Chains A and B, each alone.
Chain A
């Protein structure tokens, strides 16, 4: 039961964010209209990305430590393979949330920043805002990680080299998510030129009570659902690894 608890909490919080986030009466904010509710879904997805990529890089570091000849392996003999699977699968789910975050952002961009443009125009959906560019670059960095992995035949070589790459990939997220978009002016509310102290972390201090009470639980909910997806993917791949070994 205890090991299922986080799944139940995750479902509960995301359901709460969906139901409450769409039905509560919230202040209407200028041209955003009712679309400001997207803050409960679009922003938490990026939190899930950061957490999943952190899980990924921790497993990559662990993998590299385990290749140390002095490392004491536990019984079973699957340690290395499993650690590599954990790094790969959490990055996969992270990329899923990255793509979802980009899509929810594009829809939001279309109805707020550029609602006056016809939907057929690309710039109605994408304005090359600094945060958009950084998010897209982070997606490409992780797609390159998958591409890198796919070029190796030898499992050990694949795991080792991609673990090293993954550390660089995660480190790149720090400027891409937390530094560059906060320093440059842009259309996002956290951009440097926003009123009320732009450049802050997420919406710190700018989020009224009506929003906070749904926003923060939603973040935890999306992280937990993301982690659950990763758990499912991981267990499937570990089962495949063990079965292919026995066959």
Chain B
């Protein structure tokens, strides 16, 4: 084999390893609050933002706290170490990625705004 080919194969192998490592570091399953509390693992939880009036941002600690209701109806307080994301009010569904660091409050490392799944004729509020 030519040296060029060996380099290509090495690059491919390195990329595969990089992919495997970053994927395994990021893979976590979608679940619900009770399961997340029980397992204590990092998980994805899809939910809707509820009790909107109780949500607050503490600028000193840089913590945004809010309540999220998962798909089977459990409501849990969530804290996020950043200001309230833009478009947070408009998102139809919110995905929080994180875990229960204390038994009461779910700590979200990441927040994703889930898109509306209907490209309807009417405006989605």
Instruction: Produce 1/0 per residue, A70-99, CB < 8 A to B.
Output: 000000000000000000000000000000
Given A30-B91, A128-B27, answer yes or no on A115-B121 (Cβ-Cβ < 8 Å).
no
CB under 8 Å from chain B, chain A span 128-170: 128, 133, 136, 140, 143-144, 147, 150-151
CB-defined contacts of B113 to chain A, threshold 8 Å: 30-31, 112-116
The answer to whether A206 and B114 have CB atoms under 8 Å apart is no
A151 and B123 CA atoms in complex are apart in Å by: 54
The answer to whether A208 and B120 have CB atoms under 8 Å apart is yes
The answer to whether B85 and A116 have CB atoms under 8 Å apart is yes
Of all chain B residues, the one with the shortest Cβ separation from A200 is B117
Looking at the complex, which of B1-9, B33-41, B51-59, B98-106 is the stretch in contact with chain A?
B1-9
A-side interface residues, number (CB < 8 Å): 43
Given A187-B114, A193-B46, A194-B117, answer yes or no on A29-B87 (Cβ-Cβ < 8 Å).
no
The answer to whether B115 and A128 have CB atoms under 8 Å apart is no
Given A30-B92, A31-B87, A208-B120, answer yes or no on A189-B82 (Cβ-Cβ < 8 Å).
no
Of all chain B residues, the one with the shortest Cβ separation from A151 is B5
Interchain CB contact (< 8 A) of B116 among A113, A150, A189, A210: A189
CB-defined contacts of A187 to chain B, threshold 8 Å: 95, 112, 114-115
Interchain CB contact (< 8 A) of A32 among B44, B110, B115: B115
Given A27-B123, A29-B119, A113-B113, answer yes or no on A185-B46 (Cβ-Cβ < 8 Å).
yes
CB-defined contacts of A196 to chain B, threshold 8 Å: 117-118
A186 and B46 CA atoms in complex are apart in Å by: 9
CB under 8 Å from chain B, chain A span 103-123: 112-116, 123
Of all chain A residues, the one with the shortest Cβ separation from B29 is A185
Indicate if B14 sits at the interface (CB-CB under 8 A): no
The answer to whether A29 and B116 have CB atoms under 8 Å apart is yes
* B30 CB → nearest A CB, Å: 4
* A200 CB → nearest B CB, Å: 9
Of all chain A residues, the one with the shortest Cβ separation from B26 is A128
Indicate if A69 sits at the interface (CB-CB under 8 A): no
Indicate if A238 sits at the interface (CB-CB under 8 A): no
Of all chain A residues, the one with the shortest Cβ separation from B11 is A147
The answer to whether A123 and B110 have CB atoms under 8 Å apart is yes
The answer to whether B12 and A147 have CB atoms under 8 Å apart is yes
CB-defined contacts of B5 to chain A, threshold 8 Å: 150-151
* A71 CB → nearest B CB, Å: 32
* B90 CB → nearest A CB, Å: 4
Instruction: Produce 1/0 per residue, A13-28, CB < 8 A to B.
Output: 0000000000000011
The answer to whether A30 and B8 have CB atoms under 8 Å apart is no
CB-defined contacts of B91 to chain A, threshold 8 Å: 30-31
Given A29-B124, A30-B87, A116-B82, answer yes or no on A195-B46 (Cβ-Cβ < 8 Å).
no
Taking beta carbons and an 8 Å cutoff, which residues of A are in contact with B?
Answer: 27-32, 36, 39, 112-116, 123, 127-128, 133, 136, 140, 143-144, 147, 150-151, 184-190, 193-196, 198, 203, 206-211
12 CB < 8 A contacts A-B: A29-B119, A31-B113, A39-B119, A113-B114, A115-B87, A116-B113, A128-B23, A147-B8, A189-B116, A193-B71, A207-B119, A208-B120
